[in-house]
Amino acid sequence: MNIVEIKQTLIGKPFPTSREIHERLDKIRALAIFASDPISSNAYATEAIMSVLIVLGSGALPMTLPLATAVAILVLMVVFSYIQTILHYPDGGGAYTVAKDNLGKYPSLLAGAALLTDYVLTVSVSISAGVRAVTSAVPQLFEYRVIIALLAIGFITWINLRGVRESGTIFALPTYAFVGGVMLTIIIGLMRYLGWLGAAPLPVFDEAVPATTSLAGFAYVWLLLRAFAGGCTALTGIEAISNGVKAFQPPEAKNAAKTMVVMGIMAMSLFMGITFLSTHMHLTPIEHGESILSQMTRQISGRSILYFWVQTFTALILFLAANTGYQDFPRLSSFLAKDGFMPRWMQNRGDRLVYSSGILVLAAVASLIVIIFQANEIAMLPLYALGVMLSFTLSQIGMSRLMRKISHLKPGETVNTSVTTIHYERGWRWKKTVNIAGAIITGLVFIILMATKFIDGAWIIALAIPALVFTFAKINTHYQVVAQTLSTRDFSEEHLVDVANVVIIPIADVHQGTLRAIQYARRIATDVRAVCIATSPEVRERIERRWARFPRLTEGIDLVIIDYDYRDILTPLVDYIKTVNEKEFPGWLITVVIPEFIPVERYAQILHNQTANILRRRLRSTEEVIIIDVPYHIPSSD
Amino acid sequence: MNIVEIKQTLIGKPFPTSREIHERLDKIRALAIFASDPISSNAYATEAIMSVLIVLGSGALPMTLPLATAVAILVLMVVFSYIQTILHYPDGGGAYTVAKDNLGKYPSLLAGAALLTDYVLTVSVSISAGVRAVTSAVPQLFEYRVIIALLAIGFITWINLRGVRESGTIFALPTYAFVGGVMLTIIIGLMRYLGWLGAAPLPVFDEAVPATTSLAGFAYVWLLLRAFAGGCTALTGIEAISNGVKAFQPPEAKNAAKTMVVMGIMAMSLFMGITFLSTHMHLTPIEHGESILSQMTRQISGRSILYFWVQTFTALILFLAANTGYQDFPRLSSFLAKDGFMPRWMQNRGDRLVYSSGILVLAAVASLIVIIFQANEIAMLPLYALGVMLSFTLSQIGMSRLMRKISHLKPGETVNTSVTTIHYERGWRWKKTVNIAGAIITGLVFIILMATKFIDGAWIIALAIPALVFTFAKINTHYQVVAQTLSTRDFSEEHLVDVANVVIIPIADVHQGTLRAIQYARRIATDVRAVCIATSPEVRERIERRWARFPRLTEGIDLVIIDYDYRDILTPLVDYIKTVNEKEFPGWLITVVIPEFIPVERYAQILHNQTANILRRRLRSTEEVIIIDVPYHIPSSD
């Protein structure tokens, strides 16, 4: 089985490019693929608010509901804004494209860098959280958590390499199972709360202690802001669809927008339902203990099948939230690569029409983070959600700019921006207001997150994002230089450099390999010189003797033997080649023919001197030398 | 500073080959370099016997002296045997050469493999023991022991890469300081024992408890054998000089033999002195406690300068014993490489006339072992000394065979064996007897070591040595195939394959790089074909349009555009090339010219498709394709 067959067995037969349209996602699959991250936030978002408020004592916990409502309103604003983005930028690209079109190069790179860091963290955090769910159940596995996390990354990578439709099918079940289970729990809970189930009223704990610390003024506001910021983890992943518009079946933008609406409603129903019930049930967050969602489900449904259903699919959806990163990272990378800010090969689609390089890069970086943080997602959390907030802010500012442009248009007028087409539309004023409000709030959340978590790890992101922006800019400069250098705009055929009629063949001995090289050299030039570095008189004598045995082939060929009292034969060889180039043929291309053994068994290569390879590397920097490998195959020794 | 300058700063300017004779060692340096391992054994050899005997109670400890005497006699026999080896094999090679000349291929490979494993362990064990001495003094360093050990290996590697004379100078001081210090201690001890120092008789402890376990018969003999085997650690490193004859100044063999004698006398004086005093002082080995040598020195000299001198240089010589491995491993590897059993490049001397590749391979393998065993030399000890005993046995059997050959000669008669010249000599009978006795005893010690330490780790050696022998044989087969394939013995110029007048140029676009490649191709052939894989109609259209812009250059050149509905463009390209080769020019050499970008900044390479590299790799297996890289340099983007 050769490498091509292995690859095909693993990821399936290649799809032709024309099949791309068939690989698009219907709305059911798309929702499962893009929504696993935002929906999975419900496993912890309510608790994230509560665990800040608990500092004030359990009497402060009822504040959770208004804060969660504020978060939900923010989410709806963001969803609204992204629906606008989708409709105005139907080719996809989200915050990066919006910023590029409305704010310029560096803001767009900032948005791109922020999102990429966050996508990588989505994978690392989600996988680690999933592994924690597994090791909580089976503590013996705790010491293998890093390996388990890496295997999980490997699995998700593999599924994604097989193609987006296929991964959509596989990931649909856990997402819908989680939504269904939690939804059912909330409905039963509400019915019991309203007394519709008569006999069994909700258990209410009245142990609530009044706030022991009576914080006032700034400290109190700061704490509320932090609780609010904690709840904003519910926002992560919401922008996914705006990047992936092109993954939808046509009409892409419409389908994407519809899916976005359904996702927003679904995620916020769960969030508000969980928050309402858990505050009215007077649940208290327990550090390192049972989660709020678990407490709620257990008290509502008892230790029923429903409880285990919700628990199981909570663990699974936390794992699968990683998949959102696999949708977003490769796609956004491909946008950046297309614009020349990331390596060009990241825009190539693989055999199964997914951005394979991006998927593999994501898997590698996420694995590295898992290893560095030892699969401890608690340690990663301070780094998380920062990027997404920054990109929200930039995206909303960008959209408000776009709305301003639109405000200048008259009915029926159409204008092309750098990446899209806009025309007059009604309601730009309130759309713009929503965008500005959204920008201010998400910007504020970004500042709060950065300030409160800076020393815990957010500083890494504060360094990483500018470093990425710098790298993008460097890469772009390189591609510009390449384009300029290769450009044929002002190029005419007279500018071509001349090729000298000379070939140099370094030889160490006269054997069938060198004879073949000499024969090849004769074929392409008349001035052929075989160069041998003689490290001892015996070497000189042996070469001369063997050379004489092939008079017909060697006739007219210079045999240059250079005596040399050191072992590093490459130095005089390179010197000779450079001298010929500089003294005899300055400005011309000269040719070096290197005889090279190629053993059939690849590993046998290490048994041979790497002279040919090293010579090639040393001559790379010399612009005017063309290197020809004349291979001589060594059969298997079995 | 480029790489050549960095290298020269680190290891010094290259020596010319003719300087080799000046790099040879005088006897003072040679003794220091080769003897650090056997002499350092005195730090633990006596204790190794005692710690077995103590099982029988401290009453059994006086048995140490007769056992040590037996070890000393064995050492002298081995020294005698190796002096014979040196005189009969003045080109060096020790057990490997002796076995090769007298016992055949596989016994010699066995000896070679056994010695190589032991040399690697010499380094790992010595360094780890030295690190233990350091961490005993400064326990805070314990958690950094692996790093310290690796740094120490790095240091010794560096010194050895600088050249053998230089390392001889650096390593002479600790060796002679250790010998001097211990010798002085022994002399003072003996004088006090004999009462010559009058006032201060030796402290004698009479707490000796009679043997509690009265073992009898086989068990008792087995215990004595194990104690004897323990003492045989004193033999490690003794063969070093026989390998390194060529490192001596001329007359090499004579100087080497003299050094061997001095080394044997020195090592055995220390060994017998330490054993005599420590048994007569009734010292008792303390597990994980103060060593016998330290106890003895302390009681004889008090906590004087002498005591600290001996302690300091004990630690240092344990470190430096590693250096013996650095002398032996690269040299023996070079012998094996010369005979085609190890990679040929291991016989090359580096800039400073040492076997640099061998030194680096040794450093790498020893570091790996240190990492695996976490610098715990106690865990490594069961693997140690096995190889050396096996090689002693083989060497002695070989020498006894040689003596038999000599016994058939008449006075004045001279015969060439495969590697040396022998002639009649007197005394062959008793020399042969010594050899046979030596072979039996060292063979026995090997069996005892293997049997008693098998489950503790000796099994690793029992697997490693045959695996090495197998590898040597495989490598040799490969080189034989290479030699046969390249041989010009039955080769005449008619056998050369023909070169077809055709060049294929894969192109992705028409730019200055491809234009240069086309121009080069025109220069070397008239049938030139530019092949483009068009993955979309736009690609086809763009290529055709740009192609038309250079009518003079492209005139007469076929532009082959292949439409392809997948992204993996290499497959149709390779198919096209193979078809041309097989259908149009079967049995001829055809040429592929690949335009390649070479960015000045090396790291920028990853920004480009690796198409050229991958294509080269895919075509490697095709025997009849010659690949020409036409480089196009991309300037720096700074």
Asked whether the predicted pLDDT for residue B289 surpasses 80, the reply is no
pLDDT at B208 over 50: no
The CA-atom distances, in angstroms, between A438 and each of A41, B487, B507 are 20, 79, 50
Counting residues of chain B whose pLDDT is more than 70, the rounded percentage is 97
Query: CA separation (Å) from A601 to A513, A604, B478?
Result: 18, 6, 10
Each residue's pLDDT tens digit, A16-51: 888 888 888 888 888 988 888 888 888 888 988 998
- Confidence at residue A208, expressed as pLDDT on a 0 to 100 scale: 47
CA distance A136 to A108: 41
What is the mean predicted confidence (pLDDT) over A172-201? 85
pLDDT for res B337: 94
Range of lowest pLDDT (B210-219, B562-571, B620-629)? B210-219
Average pLDDT over residues A528-548: 92
Closest C-alpha to B23, from B262, B307, B250 = B250
Does B629 touch chain A if contact means CB atoms closer than 8 Å?
yes
Q: Which H or E run includes B533?
A: strand B527-534
Written as one letter, the residue type at A148 is: I
Q: What is the pLDDT of residues B236-266, one digit of tens each?
A: 888 888 888 888 998 989 999 999 999 999 9
- B291 vs B314: CA distance, rounded Å: 11
d(CA A75, CA A579): 70
> What is the tens place of the pLDDT at every residue in B13-62?
888 888 888 888 888 888 988 888 888 888 888 988 998 888 888 788 88
Q: Does A190 touch chain B (CB under 8 A)?
A: no
Q: What is the mean pLDDT of residues A322-326?
A: 89
Rounded Cα distance, A70 and A51, in Å = 17
Task: Mark yes or no for CB contact B513/A486 under 8 Å.
Answer: yes
> Which of A94-98, A229-233, A290-294, B201-205 has the highest average model confidence (pLDDT)?
A94-98
Q: Residue with structure tokens 């190889």? A: B387
Residue A28 CA to residue A173 CA, distance in Å, equals: 11
| Residue A259 pLDDT level (bands cut at 50, 70, 90) | very high
B251 prior amide bond cis, ω within 30: yes
Does pLDDT of B213 surpass 80? no
Banded model confidence at residue B201, pLDDT cuts 50, 70, 90: low
The long-range contacts involving B403-406, CB below 8 angstroms and separated by at least 24 positions, are B403/B428, B403/B429, B403/B431, B403/B432, B403/B435, B404/B432, B405/B102
| Chain A hits for B635, Cβ within 8 Å | 481, 485
**Residue-level pLDDT at B1:** 59
Whether the Cβ atoms of residue A579 and residue A562 lie closer than 8 Å to each other: no
Instruction: Residue window 453-472, chain B: list those with CB within 8 Å of chain A.
Output: none
Note whether B16 contacts A565, CB cutoff 8 Å. yes
Higher-confidence residue of B463 and A608: namely B463
Helix (H) or strand (E) holding A215: none
E-strand ranges in A498-614 read 499-506, 527-534, 558-563, 589-599
d(CA A513, CA A633): 9
Please state, in angstroms and as integers, the Cα–Cα distance from residue B481 to each residue in A243, A252, A635, following that order. 58, 62, 7
Which fold, B3-481?
A: Amino acid/polyamine transporter I (1.20.1740)
Using a CB-CB distance cutoff of 8 angstroms, which residues of chain A are in contact with residue B633?
A: 623
- Report strand pairing: B527-534 vs B558-563: parallel
B535 touches chain A (CB under 8 A): yes
Q: How many CB atoms lie within 10 A of CB B216?
A: 8
Q: What is chain A's alpha carbon radius of gyration, rounded to the nearest angstrom? A: 33
A599 in Cβ contact with A605 (< 8 Å): yes
Q: Which residue among B567, B629, B632 places its CB closest to the CB of A350?
A: B567
pLDDT tens digits, residue range B354-375? Answer: 899 999 999 999 999 999 999 8
Interchain contact, B597 vs A496, CB within 8 Å = no
Q: Does B473 touch chain A (CB under 8 A)?
A: no
Task: Please state the rounded mean pLDDT for residues B605-631.
Answer: 82
Same fold, B3-481 and B497-634: no
d(C-alpha A35, C-alpha A238), whole Å: 8
Residues of A in contact with B609 (CB under 8 A): 344-345, 348
Q: What tokens does A547 get? A: 């050379």
Residue A503 DSSP class = E
Q: How far is B357 from chain A (nearest CA, A)?
A: 12
Q: β-strand A414-416 against A421-423: which pairing, if any?
A: antiparallel
Pick B588 or A606 by higher pLDDT: B588
Please tell me which residue of chain A has the smallest CA distance to B18: A565
Which of A 608-627 lie inside 8 A of B, CB atoms?
608-610, 620-621, 623, 625-627
- Backbone dihedral angles phi then psi of residue B9, each to the nearest 5 degrees: -65, -40
Lowest mean pLDDT among A197-201, A263-267, B623-627: A197-201
Task: Output the CA angle B316-B65-B123, nearest 5 degrees.
Answer: 25
In the predicted model, is pLDDT for residue B471 greater than 80?
yes
The confidence score (pLDDT) of residue B199 equals 53
pLDDT at A100: 93
DSSP string of B104-132? -HHHHHHHHHHHHHHHHHHHHHHHHHHHH
Residue B209 reports pLDDT greater than 50 = no
Q: What are phi and psi of A528, to 5 degrees?
A: -110, 135
The domain covering A3-15+30-481 belongs, at the CATH homologous superfamily level, to: Amino acid/polyamine transporter I (1.20.1740.10)
Whether residue A216 is predicted with pLDDT greater than 70 in this model: the reply is no
A contacts of B549 (beta carbons < 8 Å)? 488
Nearest CA-CA distance, residue A89 and chain B, Å:
24
Could you read off the pLDDT of B173-197 as tens digits, one per residue? 889 999 999 999 999 999 888 877 7
Nearest to A475 among B607, B626, B633 (CB): B607
User: A599 - beta bridge partners?
Assistant: A634
Please indicate whether, in this complex, the C-beta atoms of A16 and B515 are within 8 angstroms of each other.
Answer: no
Per residue, what are the HEC states of A421-478? EEECCCCHHHHHHHHHHHHHHHHHHHHHHHHHHHHHHHHHHHHHHHHHHHHHHHHHHH
Confidence of residue A207 (pLDDT cuts 50, 70, 90): very low
Residue A366 near residue A123 (C-beta atoms within 8 A) = yes
DSSP annotation of B455 reads I
pLDDT for the residue numbered A209? 47
- Looking at residue B522, its amino acid is R
Q: Say how many residues make up chain B.
A: 638
CA nearest neighbour of A36 among A388, A385, A317, A362: A317
Which H or E run contains A133?
helix A105-137
Using the beta-carbon criterion (under 8 Å), do A632 and B18 form an inter-chain contact?
no
A16 vs B351, B499, B565: nearest CB: B565
Lowest mean pLDDT among A243-247, A398-402, B392-396, B562-566: A243-247
Say whether residue A158 is in contact with chain B using an 8 A CB cutoff: no
Three-class secondary structure assignment of A216-238: CHHHHHHHHHHHHHHHHHHHCCC
Rg of the Cα trace of chain B?
33
Q: Give the helix/strand (H/E) hosting A565.
A: none
* Distance, CA of A190 to CA of A416 (rounded, Å): 51
Q: What is the pTM assigned to this prediction?
A: 0.78
Measured between beta carbons, which residues in chain A are less than 8 angstroms from residue B485? 512, 632, 634-635
Inform me whether the C-beta atom of residue B2 falls under 8 Å from chain A C-beta atoms.
Answer: no
Taking residues A519-541, report their average pLDDT.
Answer: 92
What CATH number matches the domain at A497-634, 3.40.50.1580, 3.40.190.290, 3.40.50.620, 3.40.640.10?
3.40.50.620
Burial of A302 (0-12, 13-18, 19+ CB in 10 A): exposed
Q: Among A478, A496, A524, whose Cβ lies nearest the Cβ of B519?
A: A496
Domain boundaries, chain B: 3-481, 497-634
Which residue of chain B comes nearest to A602, CA vs CA?
B621
Mean pLDDT of the region A403-415: 88
pLDDT at A502: 93
Question: Which tops the pLDDT comparison, A403 or B235?
Answer: A403
- B568 pLDDT band, cuts 50/70/90, is confident
